[in-house]
Amino acid sequence: MAFYKTLLGLAAGTVFAVSGAFAHSYPERQINMVVPFSAGGPTDTVARLIAEKMSADLGQQIVVENVGGAGGTLGAGKVATAEPDGYTVLLHHIGMATSATLYRKLAYDPLNAFEYVGLVTEVPMTIVARKDFPPGDFKSFMDHVKANAATVTMANAGIGAASHLCGMMFMSAIEAQLTTVPYKGTGPAMTDLLGGQVDFMCDQTTNTTEQIKGGTIKAYAVTTPARLAILPDLPTAIESGLAGFDVSVWHGIYTPKGTPAAVNERLSAALQKALANPDVVARFAELGTAPSSAADATPAALNARLEAEIPRWKTVIDKAGVYAD
Ligand code: ASP
């Protein structure tokens, strides 16, 4: 018995020594950050800003890889099966929680296929249309969309995207079924909105603020309970008559299950530094958002958030009765 205990002790000591040395030297090479949506979209914008600052702290380059499709589930699935060696990370958003219910068959378990690094930011959404969309305010927009439900088109980034969630909530609020046009991200959806090929979408301020300010698209409402400092004239959906319409898009960084805790802690420390960087704070403010606090940019906080958000959105999704196979 004592012999086995010694052996076990030795084995545990070896593992500890290896992971300790690993954590000490980590990272030794480039890190791949998977963004499960197209380049140029809102998640990509957040990821590139954060990746640049985290790279500076880690002393190794974080390279963003866009793996769009199926509302973010393709990219997340890719990371779920990647080597848990600290060199593949995922930057995903609220879709991590909604896809757990939206997809009857998902190749991975959102809650258990990953380790957690930390929360990054929480981004408000806006309901925006092509520049020449006729209604003048949000109330007439809702009436117009409802009256023309057979012909109005709404863009989204696929089932599981934030634009899908917000669009689904909007359709259910106005009791209309619209034709949706899915993209691999709202980056390309914005291109089509600017070109007038699609009528409207619900998208994050990180993708819409500059277009709204530039007058290249028409904005009707913001989806948070309070107006935004950066777009003070834009009414909230709630004040325009959609009681309880409240959605904002939290983002987090994950690693594949089995990634050493010391690595996740190291990444979390770099994330906290990046979020405190004045350039990041300023750029986020220009885009209508703010960095998560240091306390939230931790593995425990992200884990707790995802755990709370899966049942929260399950109630909404089950009520809407929308699922993907
Ligand atoms: N966040 C997605 C993107 O970056 C869009 C979405 O979730 O609606 O394209």
The domain ranges of the chain are 2-122+250-320, 124-222
Average pLDDT, the chain: 93
pLDDT for residue 146 = 97
- The pLDDT tens digits of the residues spanning 159-183 come to 999 999 999 999 999 999 999 999 9
pLDDT confidence band for 202 (50 / 70 / 90): very high
Mean pLDDT value of segment 139-151: 97
Is the per-residue pLDDT at 2 higher than 70? no
- The pLDDT tens digits of the residues spanning 292-312 come to 999 999 999 999 999 999 999
pLDDT confidence band for 221 (50 / 70 / 90): very high
b vs e for 100-122, b when ≥16 Cβ sit within 10 Å of the residue's Cβ? Answer: bbbbeebebebeebbbbbbbbbb
pLDDT for residue 7 = 42
Q: Is the CB of 206 under 6 A from ligand 1?
A: no
Pocket test for ligand 1, best of 122, 125, 163 (most atoms within 8 A of CB): 163
From CA 91, how far away is CA 63, in angstroms rounded? 12
Taking the centre of ligand 1 as the mean of its atom positions, its distance from the CA of residue 19, in whole angstroms, is 36
- The domains spanning 2-122+250-320 and 124-222 adopt the same CATH topology: yes
Helix, strand and coil content of the chain, in percent to the nearest 5, comes to: 45, 20, 35
Q: Is the CB of 71 under 6 A from ligand 1?
A: no
Is the per-residue pLDDT at 9 higher than 60? no
First-to-last C-alpha distance (Å) of the chain: 53
pLDDT for residue 320 = 84
Token digits of residue 215 = 């007058």
Taking the centre of ligand 1 as the mean of its atom positions, its distance from the CA of residue 299, in whole angstroms, is 23
pLDDT confidence band for 20 (50 / 70 / 90): low
Taking the centre of ligand 1 as the mean of its atom positions, its distance from the CA of residue 206, in whole angstroms, is 10
pLDDT for residue 319 = 86
Q: Is the CB of 36 under 6 A from ligand 1?
A: no
Taking the centre of ligand 1 as the mean of its atom positions, its distance from the CA of residue 28, in whole angstroms, is 31
Mean pLDDT value of segment 68-85: 97
Taking the centre of ligand 1 as the mean of its atom positions, its distance from the CA of residue 102, in whole angstroms, is 16
Which protein residue's CA is at the shortest distance from atom 9 of ligand 1?
185
Q: Is the CB of 138 under 6 A from ligand 1?
A: no
* Listed residue (259, 193, 205) closest to 232, CA to CA: 205
Domain 124-222 falls in which CATH fold? D-Maltodextrin-Binding Protein; domain 2 (3.40.190)
User: Spelled out in words, what is the top-level CATH class assigned to the domain 2-122+250-320?
Assistant: alpha beta
pLDDT for residue 323 = 86
pLDDT for residue 24 = 74
Q: Is the CB of 163 under 6 A from ligand 1?
A: yes
Mean pLDDT value of segment 67-95: 97
Q: How many CA atoms lie within 13 A of 102 on its CB side?
A: 22
Which protein residue's CA is at the shortest distance from atom 4 of ligand 1?
43
pLDDT for residue 215 = 98
Q: Is the CB of 99 under 6 A from ligand 1?
A: no
